[in-house]
Amino acid sequence: MGDALNLALREEMRRDPRVYCIGEDIVLGLPFGVTKGLVDEFGPERVLNAPISEAAIVGSAMGAAVTGLVPVVDMHFADFVTCAMDEVVNQIAKSRYMFGGQLDCPLTLRMPYGIGRSGGGHHSNSVEAWFVNTPGLKVCIPSTPADARGLLKTAIRDPDPVLVFEHRGLYRVTGEVPEAETPVPLGAADVKRPGRDVTVIATARMVHASLEAARRLAEEGVEVEVVDPRSLVPLDREALALSVRRTHRAVIAEEGPMRASVGAWLAWVIMEDCFDDLDAPIVRVAAPDVPIPFSPPLEGFVTPDADDVVAAVRQTLK
């Protein structure tokens, strides 16, 4: 998926000279390699290593975006968006609305996030809920290389600010990427595996955990449909509802904590759209409400996985 994102950046930077990348250590492509080699093709004017100044990195991106450039910001770790929170939620998110539509703010925030490899408390957090809760931002979250490339391209072309949550555990996931440049629209969910018994709505790494769960459950004759919303704002409510109306059962799987999260909201969306179609309560898979611990057994315990999805699906079938 890292290569697909790199390809998307290259394609968009070739297409539009206004596009530039900014972040910490992105010239060498640290920490995850996504921006690697871009400087060779586009030069240091368009691939900017910034000082450790998250507020200035994100804030300056807005300043550039409203005056003609198209920045793609690398947050390094999504955890550090806390150091630029005002810039994201008060400045960037509100610039079009508050100013009555006078200013475009075509800006992309790449948010490497997620649990894994004992990242520990400050390097593992799933913070997408805060931004879904912030009107004025579009939020997407790819699970495959093809989606990652397509969504990042769409994000860069979008005249509004878009956050792309890239699970850092997926950078090495491989998968087919189409030859042609195929942007994936925002607001279009994708059925990653069809099935008739239970709908599992999952994002990012949990899509893979859910597919694994689906394979295991298939052996028991349970056909799970895995639906990946791909973008959270806007959300393809129709696609989710369509699936649940057929299966009558829903599991929602995310990696963030339980409370006031994206999954809680999706559960409500399903309830609102499909209450009469549900044959069982929606079951959620999420991390318990604790910070992410360092030690592997602890980290393993809090990380939602295929087992959790299997258990959740079974619960909806009880």
Partner 1 sequence: MAPGPDLLLQMYAGMLRVRLFEERVRELFANGRLPGFLHTSIGQEACAVGACAALRADDYVLSTHRGHGHLIAKGGALRGLMAELYGKANGVCHGKGGSMHLADASVNYLGANGVLAAGCVLAPGVGLSIKRRGSAQVVVTFFGDGAANRGPFHEGVNLAAVWTLPVVFFCENNRWASSTASSLSAAGGSIAARAAGYGIPGETVDGNDVLAVWEATTRAVLRARRGEGPSLIEARTIRWVGHFEGDAQAYRTKAEVEEGRRTDPLARLGRLLEARQLLDAAHAGRIRAGVVAEIDDAVAHAETSPLPAPQDALADLFASYPWSR
Query: Pick from 76, 153, 208, 284: which binds ligand TPP (CB under 6 A)?
Result: 76
Verify whether residue 76 is a known catalytic residue: no
Q: CA torsion angle for 311, 276, 218, 296 (degrees, to 10)?
A: -30
Among the listed ranges 173-181, 215-223, 288-296, 304-312, the one in contact with partner 1 (CB under 8 A) is 288-296
Of 123, 167, 208, 248, catalytic: 123
Q: Please, what is the minimum distance in Å from the beta carbon of residue 165 to partner 1?
A: 18
Q: Binders of partner 1 among 248-287, rule CB under 8 A?
A: none
Among the listed ranges 75-83, 154-162, 190-198, 244-252, the one in contact with ligand TPP (CB under 6 A) is 75-83
Site string for partner 1, 198-237 (x = CB under 8 A): -----------------------------------xxxxx
In the list ligand TPP, its own copies, partner 1, none, the entry touching 260 (Cβ below 5 to 8 angstroms by class) is: its own copies
How many other β-carbons are positioned within 10 Å of the β-carbon of residue 63?
13
Residue 49 and residue 25 in contact, taking contact as beta carbons nearer than 8 Å: yes
Element (H, E) at 219: helix 205-219
Give dist(CA 86, CA 73) in Å, integer: 15
Site string for partner 1, 179-198 (x = CB under 8 A): --------x-----------
User: Residue 52 interacts with ligand TPP (CB under 6 A)?
Assistant: yes
Amino acid identity of residue 149, one-letter, is R
Tokens 């399903």 label which residue? 270
Query: Pick from 41, 43, 174, 298: which binds partner 1 (CB under 8 A)?
Result: 298
Give dist(CA 173, CA 158) in Å, integer: 26
Beta-sheet pairing, 283-287 with 47-49? unpaired
- Coil, helix or strand at residue 38: helix
Q: Residues 6 or more apart from 154 whose CB is under 8 A from it?
A: 140, 162, 183, 184, 185, 186
User: Residue 51 interacts with partner 1 (CB under 8 A)?
Assistant: yes
Half-sphere exposure of 56 (CA within 13 A, CB side): 7
Site string for its own copies, 204-243 (x = CB under 8 A): -----------------------------x----------
Residues marked active site are found at: 123
